[in-house]
């Protein structure tokens, strides 16, 4: 994929040079600024579109079909949603956007909307296990925090593995 990107970039550059656009950009600071900021804006748009497609737009819609007893019930749905929303593939992008949102208010606003949708979805999944609204909110925040923050904690867990501790958390979150 990266070879295709490099070759496409080279083709665009050669075509621009042949058309005389490279000389224009080299001689005009305004044209260079338009190209530079336009390119940055395009890459930003691609990144946000990718993040929205993978992490925002209804994770349940991308989940595997619920066939058989194995995939039924709120706990199974929550586990599938966790894999889709907080996958190892998407985590670097999610963390980069979180870092970026600390410096850019519009990004922070968008991230807040994304996180609110994730929390709403978590509430819908955990509601069958919690009658109390306060407890439901606490469980949702714990689940979200573990999904995001798990990768930042380097502590040992005694006789337990990290996977064991995450399973203990999941059991307590889904306890009635």
- Maximum distance among all Cα pairs of the chain, rounded to whole angstroms: 70
Mean pLDDT computed over 54-67:
51
Mean per-residue pLDDT of the chain = 78
* pLDDT tens digits for range 78-93: 666 666 556 667 778 8
Q: How far apart are CA 120 and CA 105, in angstroms?
A: 22
Length of the chain: 176
Neighbours of 168 (CB within 10 A): 12
Mean pLDDT computed over 34-48:
84
What is the crossing angle of helices 91-101 and 29-51, to 10°?
120
Q: How far apart are CA 173 and CA 135, in angstroms?
A: 10
Residue 69 has pLDDT above 90, yes or no: no
pLDDT at 58: 47
Q: How far apart are CA 69 and CA 134, in angstroms?
A: 31
The phi, psi pair for 5, rounded to 5°, reads: -65, -45
Taking a C-beta distance cutoff of 8 angstroms, is the pair 126, 143 a contact?
yes
| 168/10: higher pLDDT | 168
Mean pLDDT computed over 66-76:
57
Residue 24 has pLDDT above 80, yes or no: no
Q: Which among 128, 143, 43, 29 is positioned nearest to 93, based on CA atoms?
A: 43
Q: How far apart are CA 139 and CA 136, in angstroms?
A: 5
Q: How far apart are CA 173 and CA 128, in angstroms?
A: 11
* pLDDT tens digits for range 95-138: 888 889 999 999 999 999 989 988 898 888 888 888 899 999 99
The model scores a pTM over 0.85: no
* pLDDT tens digits for range 5-17: 777 777 776 787 7
Q: How far is CA 90 from CA 47, 53, 55, 85, 140, in A?
A: 11, 11, 7, 8, 20
């Amino acid at each position: 994929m990266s070879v295709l990107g490099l070759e496409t970039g080279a083709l665009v550059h050669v075509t621009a040079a042949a058309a005389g656009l490279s000389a224009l950009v080299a001689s005009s600071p305004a044209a260079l600024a338009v190209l530079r900021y336009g390119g940055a804006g395009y890459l930003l748009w691609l990144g946000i579109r990718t993040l929205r497609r993978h992490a925002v737009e209804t994770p349940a819609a991308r989940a595997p079909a619920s066939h058989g007893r194995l995939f039924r019930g709120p706990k199974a749905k929550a586990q599938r949603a966790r894999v889709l929303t907080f996958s190892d593939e998407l985590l670097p992008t999610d963390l980069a956007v979180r870092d970026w949102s600390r410096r850019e208010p519009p990004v922070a606003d968008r991230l807040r909307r994304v996180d609110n949708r994730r929390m709403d979805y978590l509430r819908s999944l955990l509601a069958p296990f919690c009658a109390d609204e306060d407890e439901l909110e606490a469980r949702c925040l714990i689940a979200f925090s573990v999904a995001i923050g798990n990768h930042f904690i380097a502590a040992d867990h005694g006789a337990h593995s990290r996977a064991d501790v995450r399973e203990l958390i999941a059991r307590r979150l889904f306890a009635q």
